[in-house]
Each structure stands twice: as C-alpha cells, then as structure tokens.
Structure 1
Amino acid sequence: MDIKKIVLAYSGGLDTSVILKWLELQYQCPVIAYCADIGQEENWQAVREKGLATGAEQVIISDLREEFVREYIFPAFRANAIYEGSYLLGTSLARPLIAKEQVRIAAAEGADAVSHGATGKGNDQVRFELAYIGLDPKLKIIAPWRIWDLNSRTKLVEFAKEHGIPVPVTKEKPYSSDENLLHISYEGGILENPWTEPDDAMFKMTVSPEAAPDRPTYLEIEFAGGNPVALDGQQLEPLALFTRLNKLGGANGIGRLDLVENRFVGMKSRGVYETPGGTILRAAHRDLETITLDREVMKIRDSLIPRYAELIYNGFWFSPERELLQTTMDATQRTVNGTVRLKLYKGTCTPVGRTSDQSLYQESFATFEEDSVYDQADATGFIRLNGLRLRIQALQKKQS
C-alpha cells in the first residue's frame, strides 16, 4: 500500500504509542498523532511530548468537548436513545466525533490515510471505519491490530523497549477503561467473568450509593425544544450544564450500570459503566414528555428508539437512515418545553414535579372531583365498542 501521510487517533498509551512507531517504520512516511479531548482526564502536555518523542511529525490536540455535548449527546438524548434497555451509548456517541475530526485533519494536512488502535474483536473498529467511509471514502484505512504480529502485551512491551518508547511502570489495571464527558466504561480482565462484582475502588465519576449523602438533593432542569437549557434557574451553555449534572449525579451515586451487551461483531460482552449526568438528563427529559407529547406521537417515537440506538451503537451515525430518524425524533421535540424537578438520593433519580406552558395535562379533565368537561356516561359506549371483538370471540368459544 502506497501511503504518503497518516493521521493516527492517538491517546499516548502503550498501544497507540507502539502503533505510532510501527506505522512510521512500516510505511516510511510522516505520521500525525491526533488526540481528541472529549472530557477525559489527561495531561495533554505530557501526551504531546511523548508523541513527538515517539516519532510523530506533529501532535494535534482538538478540544471537542462543547461539540460533543451539543451535537452528539443532546441529539441522542432528544431521542431518549438507549441500547438494549440500559446502555446510554457513551462510547458509541464519541467515536463518530473523533473520526470526523480525524478526517478533517487528514484533509487539512494532506494525509491520504487514517489509522486507529481498535482491536479486531470490538465495536470501535466498525464505528471508526464506517465514519471514515461515510465522510471521505478516498482515505486509506490502516487497522494495525488486524494486520501486525504484535498480538500480545508482551510483544508490545518488547517492541516499545526496542524503540525507546516509555512503558508505564504503574501496575497494569485488571480491566480496560474508556472515559469521556458522558461516561466511563470498564471491560475486560477481571470483568470478563460476569459473576464477578466490580470493586468499588474502580469507579471514578460516582461515589457508591451507600456512601452518598443521607439527605436528598433536589434540582430543576429547564428544557427548550427537548434540550436542557437551565439548571436551578440558571441559564447555562451545554458543556457547563452537562458538567454540572455529572458532578451532582456523581456525588449522589447515580449512573452506575453493570450489564452484558450484544456487540455488533457478534459476541456478548460484559461492560460496567458510569453515566451520572446522562442518567439524570434522560430521566428528566422523559418525564417532561409525559405532559408535552401526544399519546400517539409518543407511541410511534418510542417504537423507533431501539432502531435509532442500534444504529448509533453499530457505528452508523453518518448514515442516511440515522439522519432520517434524527429528523423524526427532533420533530417530536417542538413542544418539549418546560421544567422538571428531580430528587437525587443514594443512587436513585426520581422526577417529583413537572410544569410546562404547553402541557397537555389538564387537571380539570383528570380530576376525581365533579367536573363539567367529561360525561362519565360516554364511557359505556366506549367500553362496548372496544369490547365488541372480545364479545364475539367469547360467543364463538361457547358455540364450539
């Protein structure tokens, strides 16, 4: 493969550091190390210095945090996206954004190839590469884990030492993790046994529910067009608002999840997640919809959520079908305006109040007291009509 310049999605860890040097040696061309800041804790100066020392032509660090919240997290939460009933798609939503910026850098820097450090067993290779193809199909894609012979940590360490790449001296974690603004995921290692309970010391974003405050925390989230715009009456930009939700959720032990999910590549995988702000946001959003969405609209929208979430999980963010569903989801959000009050307490997030100028809930209709808007005698015909097929079926059974 004739390659002139490569942009590598680089983290500074052992794997991508080895990949950086391997690409340089294998293809004898400049390699740009690109890092995406999507909210993970990182010493970016140290990452830059290590990348340059390992042989990168340059190290580009892109701050994508605001875009991540505004253009990826919020659209997904307008759709109440959730995969297999539990997973809030933290990694799945980050990958297309990382890939999009990587493709942009490739075009700006005259690179003809992109590379990533995802393994051949996971979902991320699919997510990255479908995004590359959907954004610039002319780019050549290099996936080292599928073509090299450095298929063990021992071989990676040997390669690193041979080429003067610093190897972490800290004890290797008994699991792998991935962090961004929306969540931290943990998998592999000791977590591969689905019977093994995660060690509480593993979690970074949340305290355990047992260690959370003994008093509940109340907060109010205001929405406009399905997006959160204010917290406790204070208007905030998306990044600031979501960061605050993460802190509130984390302090109250909210957002921990342990599940076995179905990977797109065909195997089941056990994952443990922390998604404090996202858990709060989804609960508030769904609750506001109970008073602002028409019943039949909600039924149709809810029927589309599994497909929408599956598209994101499988890597089809930049697909016409995801964009079509997004347009549909967003059309339902025009009336999702109002405020939800929530109670956070020891790992639980409970909506306890909601209000909206566009509320479809009318106390005068729902009241058990005397009213002049609902004739209860009308229910007789309603029940008879809805019971007609049951009556016919029962009569048929008696005859037979």
Structure 2
Amino acid sequence: MSKVTAPKKVVLAYSGGLDTSIILKWLQTEYGCEVVTFTADLGQGEELEPARAKAELMGIPPENIYIEDVREEFVRDFVFPMFRANAVYEGLYLLGTSIARPLISKRLVEIAEEVGADAVAHGATGKGNDQVRFELAAYALNPDIKVIAPWREWDLSSRTKLLEFAEEHQIPVAKDKRGEAPFSVDANLLHTSSEGKVLEDPAEMAPDYVYQRTVAPEDAPNEPEFVEVGFERGDAVSINGEAMSPATILDKLNELGGKHGCGRLDLVEGRFVGMKSRGIYETPGGTLLLEAHRGIESITLDRGAAHLKDELMPRYAELIYNGFWYSPEREMLQAAIDKSQEHVTGTVKLKLYKGSARTVGRWSDHSLYSEAHVTFEDDAGAYDQKDAAGFIQLNALRLKLLAARNKRMK
C-alpha cells in the first residue's frame, strides 16, 4: 500500500503480544493513522485485560480498544456447524485454528464499519494459511475494505530486528522473548496449535512441554471415566443430563478429555499456500464431541444420507481450512448437512481411558435401529430371509454378465 493511499483509521486484530504490539506501533509510524484494537476472547485461556493496558500504554484511547467475549458465538455459530459435518482436514486435523478466523474477520469488518475505519490489519505471516483466511473472509463481508498485512510489507525480517524496533519505540518486551521462542502457540476454546522452532524437524518427537491441555496418555487415570453427551438436531446440548450452553459444553469436554489424555495430534499437513508444515494440536473436547456425534448419527441417520455426508466432508473441511467459510459453496454444503441433522437427537455414552474416547452406548427416540430386524433370535416375521436371494441375484446380474464376457474373450 503506497503512502498516497495510506489508511486514515485501521482496526487491528490485537493479542497484546509482542508481534501485534510491534504491528500497532508500525501502523502508527508507517502510515500515521489512527489505530483501533480488537481483541477476541475465544477461550484461549489467557487474561485479556493486559491487552487493554498494553494498548493504552501505546497511546490507544479507551474508546478505540475493543475486547469482546465471543466464546458462545464461536462455538454456537462456527464450531457446532462444522462438527455437524464431522469435518476433519487430511483425515486427522479438527480445524481448530481455521474455524476461528472467520469470526475474528467478521468482527474486524463490523468494527471498521462502526468506527468509520477504512482498513483492517492482521499479524499473520506471509508463509501461512491465516493470511488467506483473514483476508478472504474480510473481502467476502466487505469487498471495499483495505487489508494491511505488515509481515508482507515491512523489512523486520528477523527476531533481532523486531526486538530492535520494540526497544526503539519503548514497547515492553518480556524477558522470555529476548531469546528465540521455542515454538509459537495459537489457542482457542476448541484447540491449541504449536508450530515452529523445536517442532520444525518432523523426524524429532515433540518435547513433552509442548502439550498444554492434555496429560500424557500413560499418565492419565488408571480407571476409565464414562460421560454421556446429549444431542438435539446434531448439536451437543447436555453432559451427563445437565443442560449447558455451547461454550460451557466444549469447556467441560476439554476438561474431561484433557484429564484422560485425549485429542493429541502430531501432524504434517499440506498448507493452502503450497508448503508442508508440522504442527502439534490438542483438541480434547473436540475429539470427544466428534466421537459422540458420530455415535448418535450411527442410529439416527439413514445410510444414504450418512454416506453422502462422508463423501462431502473432505470438500467441506478443505473449504474451511482454505478460508472459504463465507463462500456460497460452503453455505450450500452447510444447508445439506443441516438438513441431515433433523433427527440427530439422543444421547451417547463415551468411555474415556488412556488417550482414547470410544462410544460404548447410544440411544434415541429418533433411532432407526430395529432390534427386531437384526436379532439372531426369532424375529417374529419382521424380516423374511428368503427376500435376500432375489436381492443378491439382481445385484449380481451385471457382475455375472461381465464375468461371462471375460471368460468368452479368453
């Protein structure tokens, strides 16, 4: 962005950490613009008031500091719709970072409109996926918004230069930041993501200190714990019979899963920008939620619908990973997924033990399971086994014709 088109007011996604504090000062010095900070409480587990104090210390007036608790909105409107789809990226990743970005972008754009800002800014680097997610979401919500990505513009290309800039502008630097950080962490109510430094060699096992939300499975309790998760139309609504809000449910599942060492993932994934990266993810509550949701679907969802959902899921997960939450194709898929959840209501019993979460019981008034049809005992005429002969013959017809042709051509 040239100085000619420099913004007058920018809404910055601000964590209060060193990098976004440097970005705040850089925006002020580079563009001479007014800065509004937005800090989202997504359940990252950190006290956010220090972010307010840090912003004030750097000259941001109180009316330009936005700190918002969006945990319920995050789980209700983003996490839960995603889990209705049983979405996992590359077969393993529960999309904990990906799903938070559209909400942050939404509030950045909304605040920009409220305060009359002509630009938003984020602290994502030019090598990662988050820059794509933030900016695609912002443009989808406001095609005229300007987006500033300092990591793609400035010449602060090393930790040393960042620290020099911080000292030059009297930005407080925590003592543990003066050396090379062992790894970077992103956290929210759904997961923690750790990348970089000591984790960059995928051949080396991640150190134990990387894990923050889960005990090592071998150190988990020696006795299993059972938990019942209640669902209505595909969304979790209760734990052990107690009704709870979406965020409270996920928080409780995190506690239970973390205690039993559930939800650890060491993944080398294909980033949207083209490179491979290694990340350590902890998604204890999400792991329990996914297992329970598949458990209740197993008795309430028709085979055709279930199999079609499984076919659609990789595409849906890729759209979220790549930053297309607000795209028409994601919304189309969401409509189909939500339609499938009309009868996904009931209760699932999970067994938590030494890193595993397994469905051991499920029941529902909407169940399609018929014991009369599957019993090995007398079914009282519910199913005539002779009917299977014709069914098999019709399905075998094309295979028999193929086999006869192949035999004839030899």
1:92 and 2:98 aligned: yes
Match of 1:131 among 117, 133, 137: 137
Q: Secondary structure at 1:300's aligned position in 2? A: helix
Question: Which one-letter code corresponds to 2:218 in the other structure?
Answer: E
Mapped partners of 2:132, 2:211: distance in 1 = 27
1:202 and 2:210 aligned: yes
Q: Secondary structure at 1:242's aligned position in 2? A: helix
Residue in 1 that maps onto 2:388: 379
Match of 1:37 among 38, 41, 44: 41
Does the 8 A contact of 2:159 with 2:180 survive in 1? no
1:77 and 2:83 aligned: yes
Does the 8 A contact of 2:228 with 2:348 survive in 1? yes
Question: Which one-letter code corresponds to 1:92 in the other structure?
Answer: S
Q: CA RMSD in A?
A: 1.0
Residue in 2 that maps onto 1:291: 299
TM-score by length of 1: 0.98
Match of 1:3 among 4, 7, 20: 7
Shift of 1:248: 0.3
Residue in 2 that maps onto 1:13: 17
Question: Which one-letter code corresponds to 2:403 in the other structure?
Answer: A
Mapped partners of 1:44, 1:354: distance in 2 = 40
Alignment of 1:1-400 (within 5 A): 1-57=5-61, 58-170=64-176, 172-371=180-379, 372-399=381-408, 400=410
Q: Secondary structure at 1:85's aligned position in 2? A: coil
Mapped partners of 1:18, 1:27: distance in 2 = 14
Q: Secondary structure at 2:117's aligned position in 1? A: coil
Question: Which one-letter code corresponds to 2:16 in the other structure?
Answer: G
Q: Secondary structure at 1:260's aligned position in 2? A: strand
Does the 8 A contact of 1:192 with 1:270 survive in 2? yes
Mapped partners of 1:157, 1:25: distance in 2 = 16
Does the 8 A contact of 2:12 with 2:35 survive in 1? yes
Mapped partners of 1:197, 1:234: distance in 2 = 39
- Unaligned runs of 5+ residues in structure 2 are none
Matched residue count: 400
Q: Secondary structure at 2:277's aligned position in 1? A: strand
Question: Which one-letter code corresponds to 2:287 in the other structure?
Answer: T
Per-residue CA deviation, residues 247-280 of structure 1 (Å, 9 max, x unaligned), is 0000000000011111111111111100000000
Percent identity of equivalent pairs:
59
Moved more, 117-126 or 44-53: 44-53
Q: Secondary structure at 1:90's aligned position in 2? A: coil
Shift of 1:172: 4.3
Per-residue CA deviation, residues 207-259 of structure 1 (Å, 9 max, x unaligned), is 01011000000010110000011110111111111110000000000000011
- Which ranges of 4 or more aligned residues in structure 1 deviate by more than 6 Å? none
Mapped partners of 1:388, 1:324: distance in 2 = 37
Question: Which one-letter code corresponds to 2:31 in the other structure?
Answer: Y
Mapped partners of 1:93, 1:316: distance in 2 = 10
Does the 8 A contact of 1:20 with 1:56 survive in 2? no
